[in-house]
Chains A and B, each alone.
Chain A
Amino acid sequence: MPSRFRDALQSGRFVITSEIGPPKGTNIEKMLHHIDLLKDKVDALNVTDHQSSVMRFPSIGGCLSVVERGGEPILQVTCRDRNRLALQAELLFAHTRGVRNVLCLTGDAVVVGDHKEAKGVFDLDSAQLLKTIRQLESGTDLGGNDLDGAVEFCAGAIVTPEAHPIEPQLIKFEKKVEAGAEFFQTQAIYDLENFARFMEYARPFPVKILAGIILLVSARMAKYMNDNVPGVFVPQDLVDEMAAAPKGEALNKGIEIAGRMIATLKDESLCHGVHVMAIGKEEVVPDILKAAGLAG
C-alpha cells in the first residue's frame, strides 16, 4: 500500500494538508470529530507529537484513528522524547498499521512545555531522523542489522522561510533534502512577497513545499506571535486588518485572510500546496478552504 499523500504531491495539483492535535487525556471524542470533519477535505492530516512539549495522547495513536476512519495521516515525530531505538521501533509499528507519511522534527525544547524537569533526549536530530527512515527502507536498522520486513514512507520536514537570519536555516534545509526529505511544510507565513523570494530559492530542489497557514483569530494573537513565536512575522497591515474587524467578527476576518492567502498561493502557483493550522479551531478549516475557493 503506497502513500496516497505522495501520489497527491506527485499529481501536480495544489495539495492541502491540515492538522489534528491529540487531547490531554483519554477522551478522544473531539479528536475523532475533527478527523471525521477534515479527512475527506484534505490530502493528509498531520497529527502533532506532544506539541510545544506538552504531554498529550500520542501522535501515533491519532494517526491510527485517521487510518481507521479512512483518512491519510502524517505522523509527526520529534527527536525530543525518544532515543534511536524507540524512534525506529515507532516507525516499524507505524508502517505495519498503514501509516505511510512521516514529518521529521527536532522538537521544541522540553522547558517550553509542561514537564520542565524532564530529560530532553535529542539522540538524533531531524536530518538524522530522515536518514534513519531511508536506512530502514533499505532493509537495515541504524545498527546495520538486517530487518525482517522494511518500511516505506513519504518523509518530510519543516523549514522557516521568515527566520532571521535565514542563511543557517537554508543550510539545514539543504541537509534535510540530502537526507531524504520529499516534502516540506513551512512554519507559518504571512508575508507573501518574502515567501515568493524563499520559493525562488527552494524551487530548484527536488521537493514539494507546502506553505504553512496559521489561522489568525485576533489582532492580539498576531502581535503575540510576532513577539513570541520564532520565525513567525505577521505584517502590520494584517494586524491592522484583524484589529479593524467589528466585534465578534475577528474569527471570520481571520478565515477570510487565510482563504485569501491560500487562493493567492494557488492562483499564482507560488508553491505546491498549503498546510492549514487552525490551532484549537479545527472546525473552521472547511470554512477556510471554502474562502480559498477550494471546497468540495
Chain B
Amino acid sequence: MKSITRQKLPEEIEQQLQGFDRVYIAGCGTCATMTRTGGREEVLAMRERLQQLGKLVTGWIVIPTACDDMTQAAMEENNGAIRNAGCILVMSCALGVHRMSTCLARPVIPALDTLFIGIEDGSGCFQEACAQCGQCVLGETAGICPVTACHKGLLNGPCGGTNQGKCEVDSEKDCAWTIIHQRLTDQGRVDAMRRYHSARNYNIAPRPRMTRIV
C-alpha cells in the first residue's frame, strides 16, 4: 500500500511560501520516494528551486517514514535548523504533513497533493485499488472493487455508458463491471452479480473516522 502523491505546481508552492524567507524542507523515504515526488532527489531539486526564488533553505531531511511516530525524534534532532526556519515545506503525503504539524510549532506547508491509496501495477504505474469505504464487497466482485474502479462507484452492475468494455469517462479505462463480470464468469459464479445491493451506509464510520484496537 502506498500513499500516492503529486507535486503541487511551482506557482502554488511559491504562493504558499509567501512571507517565509527561511524554509526547512522535509521529504519522505517511503511512498513519496517511490512515487518520485518527495525523495532525496526531489528534495534537493526543491532546495535549488527555493534558493533561486531567493529563499534561505536552513536545512533538509528525508525522514524514513514521515507518517510514523519516529518523525518526532527526527524533527528534534534537527531542531536547530527547523527553529531557524519560518516554516517547514513537507514533501510527503498528507499523513506526513499531519504528523509533522502535530509535533512542530512552526507552520507546516505541503508541497504535494495526496491523490489516493494505491498499489504499484508494473513499474511506475500506480493504481487506486481501495477507497476505504468500510463495507468490503470484494468477495462478491472477484477481487475488483466497484466502489473504486467504477467511475460512479456503482454496486449493482454497469451503467449504460460502458462501451466495448471501456468506461464512458475515458476510452483507455476499463469498465470495472465488465471485468468483474468476466472474472465471475471464469470463476463459475456469475450469479454473485445478480444479488441486489441496497444503498450504501455512509454512517458506518462517521467522519472523522477513527478506531481503537483495545
Q: Which of A80, A84, A165, A174 contacts B194 (CB 8 A)?
A: A174
Report B154-168 residues with CB < 8 Å from chain A CB.
154-165, 168
Q: Is A290 part of the binding interface, using a Cβ–Cβ cutoff of 8 Å?
A: no
Q: Decide if B160 touches A125 in the complex (CB within 8 Å).
A: no
Known contacts A120-B152, A125-B155, A172-B156; is A230 also within 8 Å of B169 by CB?
no
Question: Taking the complex as formed, is B105 at the interface, i.e. its CB lies under 8 A from any CB of chain A?
Answer: no
A132: chain B residues within 8 A (beta carbon):
199
Q: Would B160 and A106 count as touching, CB distance under 8 A?
A: yes
A-B contact count (CB 8 A): 95
> Which of A106, A122, A163, A168: most chain B Cβ within 10 A?
A168
Question: Smallest CB–CB gap between B168 and chain A, Å?
Answer: 6
Chain B 156-188 interface mask (CB, 8 Å, partner A; 1/0): 111111111100110000000110110001000
Is B156's CB under 8 angstroms from A111's CB? no
Interface size class of B (residues with CB under 8 A): 20 to 34
Main secondary structure of the interface of B (DSSP, over half): loop
Q: Given the complex of chains A and B, what is the CA–CA distance between A230 and B178 in angstroms?
A: 14
List, in ascending order, chain B residues with CB within 8 A of A163's CB: 160, 162-163
> Which residues in chain B, 112-154, are within 8 Å of chain A measured between CB atoms?
151-154
Assess the B157–A175 pair: CB atoms within 8 A. yes
A-B contact list, 17 entries, CB within 8 Å: A84-B199, A106-B152, A109-B161, A109-B169, A112-B169, A122-B153, A124-B199, A125-B152, A126-B159, A127-B156, A165-B178, A168-B157, A168-B177, A175-B156, A175-B157, A175-B194, A178-B196
Residue B198, interface by CB 8 Å: yes
Q: How far is the CB of A108 from chain B (nearest CB, A)?
A: 6
Whether B157 contacts A164 by the Cβ 8 Å rule is: no
Within 8 Å by CB of B160, from A123, A127, A158, lies A158
* Sample of 8 further A-B pairs with CB below 8 A, known A106-B154, A167-B185: A109-B161, A123-B199, A124-B199, A125-B156, A125-B159, A127-B196, A168-B177, A175-B157
- Contact check: which of A128, A159, A167, A168 meets B198 at CB < 8 Å? A128
Interchain CB contact under 8 A, B160 and A171: no
**Is A231 interfacial (CB-CB < 8 Å)?**
yes
Tell me if A109 and B160 are in contact (CB < 8 A). Answer: no
User: A125 → chain B, closest Cβ, in Å?
Assistant: 5
Q: Tell me, in angstroms, the Cα distance from A112 to B194 when the chains sit together.
A: 29
Indicate whether B193 reaches chain A with its CB closer than 8 angstroms: yes
Bound form: Cα–Cα A208–B178 in Å = 26
In the bound complex, residues from chain B placing their C-beta under 8 Å from that of A244 are none
A80: which B residues are within 8 A, CB to CB? 152
In angstroms, Cα B175 to Cα A164, docked, is 12
Interface centre among B159, B162, B199 (most CB of A within 10 A): B159
Q: B181 is contacted by which of A111, A131, A165, A174 (Cβ under 8 Å)? A: A165
Chain A residues numbered 263-295 whose CB sits less than 8 Å from any CB in chain B: none
Candidate in B155, B160, B177, B196 with the most chain A CB atoms within 10 angstroms: B160
Question: B160–A160 contact, CB under 8 A?
Answer: yes
